[in-house]
Amino acid sequence: MEELFKEETGVELKIEHKQWIEEICKIGLKVLLLLILFYILNIIGEKLAQNNFLIQGGFNSDILYSVLVLPLLYSLKDIKDCFESVFIKVWKGNGYITVKRGCLNIRYDKLYLNEINNIELTRSLCGKMGQYCSIDLYAMGGFLRIPHLKDNKENVKVIEELMTIIQHNNDKEIPCSATAGSVSVHK
How does pLDDT run across 45-90, given as a tens digit for each residue? Answer: 778 777 775 556 667 778 788 888 888 888 888 888 888 888 898 9
Mean pLDDT across the stretch 29-49? 88
The residue among 74, 49, 70, 52 whose CA lies nearest residue 61 is 49
Q: Are 93 and 8 in contact (CB under 8 A)?
A: no
Q: What is the mean pLDDT of the chain?
A: 82
Query: For residues 58 and 9, what is the distance between their CA atoms, to the nearest angstrom?
Result: 70
Mean pLDDT across the stretch 91-97? 86
Mean pLDDT across the stretch 162-174? 81
| Residue 36, pLDDT score | 94
| Residue 186, pLDDT score | 46
Q: Are 110 and 116 in contact (CB under 8 A)?
A: no
| Residue 176, pLDDT score | 53
Percentage of the chain beyond pLDDT 70 is 87
| Residue 17, pLDDT score | 85
The residue among 106, 98, 113, 101 whose CA lies nearest residue 168 is 113
Q: Domain segments of the chain: what residues? A: 2-17+83-171, 19-81
The residue among 21, 12, 27 whose CA lies nearest residue 150 is 12
Handedness of CA 82, 88, 90, 96 (dihedral sign): negative
Query: For residues 46 and 41, what is the distance between their CA atoms, to the nearest angstrom?
Result: 9
CATH class of 2-17+83-171: mainly beta
Determine the Cα angle at 100 with ends 99 and 105, to 5°.
Answer: 145
Band (8; pLDDT cuts 50, 70, 90): low
Band (182; pLDDT cuts 50, 70, 90): very low
Query: pLDDT of 108-135, one tens digit each?
Result: 888 888 888 889 999 988 888 889 999 9
Mean pLDDT across the stretch 28-38? 92
At residue 104, φ and ψ (nearest 5 deg) are -85, -50
